[in-house]
Amino acid sequence: MPLLKWFLFAAAVTTGVTIPIRSRVELFRGSNEWREVTVNETLEPSQTAIILCDLWDKHWCRGANARVGVLTERINPVLRAARAKGILVIHAPSDTMDFYKDAPQRRAILSIPKVALPTSLDIPTPKLPIDDSDGGCDTEGDKSYKAWSRQHPAIEIGPNDLISDKGDEVYSALKLRGIKHLLVAGVHTNMCILNRTFAIRQMTKWGVKCILLRDLTDAMYDPKDAPYVTHDQGTNLVIQHIEQHWAPTVLSTDLLSRLR
């Protein structure tokens, strides 16, 4: 086959999407000096999923609620491009499955056979770089309560999407579809993004390659608490913590440009 024709053929059958993912490495062990590094990672759309973590319709913290509203406006274009490429979308608004009990996307994941969970990898859990012990709300006077009843209605749910808030259901769906990369968006980096059974810590311990969409997330952090930085700086500190200890990150704009 002539070289040009071979190249065009190879380009036509290549389906991978290459994205720049960011991590942090301690080049000199024991120095506690972490340097930002960026490498290219190729995602096969049929082996990739996006999960939306706890993007609820309402949050008990007014500041968090307002920021989630902004995030939803930027998420739908990413989801549309992902679906068009064949990437699976999973909606995971915790504690709201009663609302979705009759949704076909909820029934679809319940119909998937359960896969035996692997032994969790023994990965240390370092201390977070921010103090969120008081709940992390940055708006005065707000008290914690279950304010949510569903996912934010502005987020589109596609006919072939899935809905779940349980790690074993999500893991089974990933394994039976041969999914290797799990892109994670939603809130909050220092809480649900790390701690939910379907999110970064547990999925990483089960051997799933997680990537955080770092501009489609937020933190529960009050600048009145240590380390006494702005809210955005606090969020970035947690993102850096995730890059150091748990998973690389990518900008949604970089992902979107490559999906298109």
pLDDT at 3: 38
Query: In the prediction, which pLDDT does 51 show?
Result: 98
For the chain of 260 residues, list the mean pLDDT of each consecutive stretch of 10: 39 73 94 95 97 98 96 96 97 98 98 96 96 96 96 98 98 97 98 98 98 98 98 98 98 96
SS3 per-residue string spanning the chain: CCHHHHHHHHHHHCCCEEEEEEEEECCCCCCCCCEEEEEEEEECHHHEEEEEECCECCCCCHHHHHHHHHHHHHHHHHHHHHHHHCCEEEEECCCCCCCCCCCHHHHHHHCCCCCCCCCCCCCCCCCCCCCCCCCCCCCCCCCCCCCCCCECCCCCCCCCCEECCCHHHHHHHHHHCCCCEEEEEECCCCCHHHHCCCCHHHHHHCCCEEEEEEEEECCCCCCCCCCCCCHHHHHHHHHHHHHHHCCCEECHHHHHHHHC
Identify whether 245 is part of a domain: yes
pLDDT at 90: 98
Question: Domains in the chain: how many in total?
Answer: 1
Residue 213 is predicted with a pLDDT of 98
Instruction: Please give the residue range of the domain that contains residue 207.
Output: 51-117+146-259
> What's residue 101's pLDDT?
97
> Would you say residue 26 lies in a domain?
no
Domain for residue 30, yes or no?
A: no
Please report the pLDDT score of residue 14 as a whole number. 47
Residue range 170-215, pLDDT digits in tens:
999 999 999 999 999 999 999 999 999 999 999 999 999 999 999 9
Report pTM. 0.92
Residue 125 lies in a domain: no
- Domain CATH code at residue 230: 3.40.50.850
pLDDT at 4 (0 to 100): 38
